[in-house]
Structures are given as structure tokens and as C-alpha cells.
Chains A and B, each alone.
Chain A
Amino acid sequence: MVLKSIEENDVEVLEKHNIIVTTLEKVWNWGRARSFWPLSYGCNCCPIELMAAGAGRFDIARYGYEVFRASPRQADLLIVAGPITLKMKPAVERVYAQMPEPKWVLAMGNCATSGGPFRDGYSVLPGADSLFKVDVFVPGCPPRPEALFHGLLELKKKVESS
């Protein structure tokens, strides 16, 4: 079957003949959405849930998101799992700036989404979104690993459709 030109409705015909037409963007997003390498930032209780997410019962590795990089240069996803204090603010900003594009931010827990119990505090930012664009908010105090996975899969959908 030789097509002179490909139009919108021809794609279905092609797929019936096992010919898949795609764009480079789609392939890139396919890869990016399935390989978030996280860089974690946290204080105490959300990181415990992060550890549980990495361990046997929940196993973040099933989705391929287990490669926690220590260097921001190799990370794609900043998991903010804790309140950002004014003292910590320049460090987080710097780490975020050091990450190469394309990069995403996931706010995990109430402190990172809105400031949580420290919202009116004199030394705490009301949520990570006051610093940078946050892609997915995962509320909870702390959120369970399932909630984190749900957030990650929502982020996957978001990246794939971008």
C-alpha cells in the first residue's frame, strides 16, 4: 500500500496495517514520561514514605522511577517532600536551577503543597509553588506511597500529552 499523502483519517487505516505514524516529540515524551529520575528534598516524615515507596512492599522500581540521583545534573524530577524554610530557600532554588531541562517538580505532602501546619509561620514558605512551577501536588500528611505513585502516574500522563 503506497500513500501519496497522509491525512488525518488515514492514520487509522495505517494502524490497521501495522504502520504506526508518529512524531519525534511523541517518542521523546514517551521516553521522558517513563523515566523520571528523582532528586529528593525532604525533612523527616514524607521521606520516610519515600523510602517505603522504594522498598519491597510498594517498589517504585516497577515504574522505572527508582533511580534516585544525588547530583541534580542527572535528575529530571524534583520531589519536594517537606516545608521549605527561608534558610533553605536559596539552596532549593539553586538545586532546581542546576537541573537540566526538561524538568518537573512534584510537591509531596501538605507542607510542600501549602505550607501545612507551618503555613502562617515566620520562617516557612507557604508551599513549593511560591518558588517554582509545580507540576503535581500530592496532599497528605504524609501521603502514602500509593498516593505518591498516583501523583507520578498523573505526571506521566501530563508529560505524555504535552
Chain B
Amino acid sequence: MEHFFLNIAHSLIVWLMGLGLSSKGADLVLLIVQWICIVAIVTINVIVLIWLERKVAGFMQQRLGPNRLGPAGMFQTIADAIKLLTKEDIIPSAADRIIFRTAPIFFIIIAVMLYVVLPMGDGMQIVDLNVGVFYFISVASLSTICLLMAGWGSNNKWSLLGAMRSVAQMISYEIPLAFSLLGVIMIAGSLSLSDIVAAQNNIWFIILQPVAFITFFIAATAELNRGPFDMPEAEQELTAGAYTEYTGMRWALFFLAEYTNLVAVSALASTMFLGGWHGPWLPSWIWIIIKTYLVMLIFMWMKWTFPRIRMDHLMSFSWKVLIPVTLANILVTGAGIQFLAGMGW
């Protein structure tokens, strides 16, 4: 079971080479297969996640949540997807058509790009970049531009306000997000995600870096535009923020991308802090799934527990609390590493 997916990949390459393909050609085909797998996993996962989100919301509010369609309401999201696919597609006449149409496509492409560097098991990584963490953060921050495109292209005041908010929020929270990961990188001594997982063989980084984990979690919630930081689409004040003018499948693509980002960031959190695919008894790829889902459940718990906070509080919380705390964490981590090195560890 441990090498289930690796064996599949290996036998695929052997089969392709047997067909007369060169090794580079076989690698290219394997890359395409991996890409298709990512898109398939993401789409199926989102169906489960939206159902889970609604069930968790019901649980938090002492309700039942969807339970009429299929076992425990499992098929509710499928009905929603069918409906969204067949909705009328409205593009406002005042909208900037090209930007309006491309914004959701870029948003989902960027969300899928994040999965390239994530180690999904022992040796199960599509590309092992030596700047993996850096790649992840920089690609994740690109999605800000897509939200701005959506807000600007819609030519609607609510959309633009929501987009402006999301840009301000995501740029402010990018900094504590990167700083909180710096402590882990300093201990592991590498930006490569597989090296960071290998460094957690004995002890998980959540024990060595508890402050970094908490600040990372808060900053990631803001980065994902999830509650209690879902200011960009605060429906009570901004209708639906940057997504106000989007209908049917275009809107669903934004939603898909948001949940894809949620899975990616949860997988990053479990890779950086919770020991990645390390774990006893079970195969490594099951461990990463368990940990990712646990982190996602905590994200959902936060979303349905806290009320949305005010915009100015949000900004001052980032600049006045999170950034000083993460900077102090870096200082303490550096001093600790030097101290322990001096002790001869």
C-alpha cells in the first residue's frame, strides 16, 4: 500500500517506454497524467468539502444540515453543481468583457498550480523544487490579482470595493504568513518541502514552533478569505464583494478555486508543522490526507464560530500584532538555534 501510487507511475513509464517512447517523452506523458489527476482530485474533493462545510455549519448551529439527498445529504452538492452549470450566463453590458471572463479562469489555474510542490506522500511530489516554500507563497499571492481583475472587470461599485478590500487584506497578511514560515525554514535549514518533511522525522515543528503555527493559521485564514476574515465578500455590506456580478459556472469557478486554495494551504500547514506524511502504521499518503482534513476542519470550526471582524481592526491586527509577533518569533528561533549550537547539539 505504501508505494501504491509510485508503482502505478512506474509501471506507466515502463509501459510507455515499451511502446517506443523516449524517457523524456514518457516523463512528459506522466506529467500530463499527474496534472489530470490533480484537477480530478481537486474537483471531487470540492464536492465533498462543500457538503462537509454545510454539515459542520449545521453541527455548530445545532442543526442537521443537508440530509434529504443521498446518504446524509451527500448528493446535495451534485444537485447544486448541475444547477449552477445550467444557469444563465450574464455578462453585464458595462463590464470589461475580457477581464471579466478571464478572472475566474486564472483564479482556478493559480489554485491548481499550488499542488505542484506539495509532498503528498513518501516520494510523491510532482516537482521537488529547492525553493518550494517560496514558490508556494509567491504563487498563492498571485490570486490577489485575480480578485482585483474580477472586481475591476465587473464595473460594479460593490465588486470594486470588495476587490480593494481583498487586495489590502491579502497583501497585509502575506507578510506574517511568510514570516511565520521563516522559523520553520531556519530550523530545517531548507526551503524545499521534502527536506522540511524529512527534518520532522523525530519531532513535529508544531512543538518547536507553536507561536509560528498559530500566526500562520491566522494569516492563512485571512489569505484564504475565509471567515472570520471574509471581508472581500462580506455579504451584509458588500452584497457578494468581488463576485457580485458573476453568475452560474463563472461564480462556481471562484468557489472551486477558494476550496482548492483551502486544501492546498491545509496541506502546506500539515507539511510544515504537523510532520507531513510521517506517521505510524498507515501508508504515508493516508497520513497526509488525515492531517489535511483535520486542519481543514479547524478552519471550518473557526469560520462558523467567530463573527466577521471589522475592516480597520483586521488591518491593525495584521500590522500591529501579527507582524511584531512573527518578527519576535524569528529572533527567538535564531537565538535558540545559536544557543543550542553553542551547547553542542
Contact = CB atoms under 8 A, between A and B. Distances in A.
B313 interface: no
Given A71-B239, A74-B247, A100-B89, A28 B82 contact: yes
A74 B240 contact: yes
A72 to B, nearest CB: 9
Contacts of A70: 235-236, 239-240
Interface string A54-86: 011001011110110111011010000000000
Contacts, number: 97
Interface stretch (A30-38, A41-49, A131-139, A140-148): A30-38
B243 A71 contact: yes
B172 interface: no
Interface residues of A, number: 25
Contacts of B62: 56
Contacts of A91: none
A49 to B, nearest CB: 16
B89 A64 contact: no
B24 interface: no
B86 A28 contact: yes
Interface string B74-106: 001011111101111110000000000000000
Interface in B233-252: 235-236, 239-240, 243-248, 251
Chain B contact-residue range equals: 35 or more
B68 interface: yes
A34 B79 CA distance: 6
Contacts of A101: 87-88
Interface in B91-138: none
A29 to B, nearest CB: 9
Given A69-B235, A70-B239, A74-B240, 11 more contacts: A28-B83, A28-B86, A30-B79, A31-B78, A35-B79, A56-B61, A59-B63, A63-B68, A69-B240, A101-B87, A102-B86
Interface of A: 27-28, 30-32, 34-35, 55-56, 59, 61-64, 66-67, 69-71, 73-74, 76, 100-102
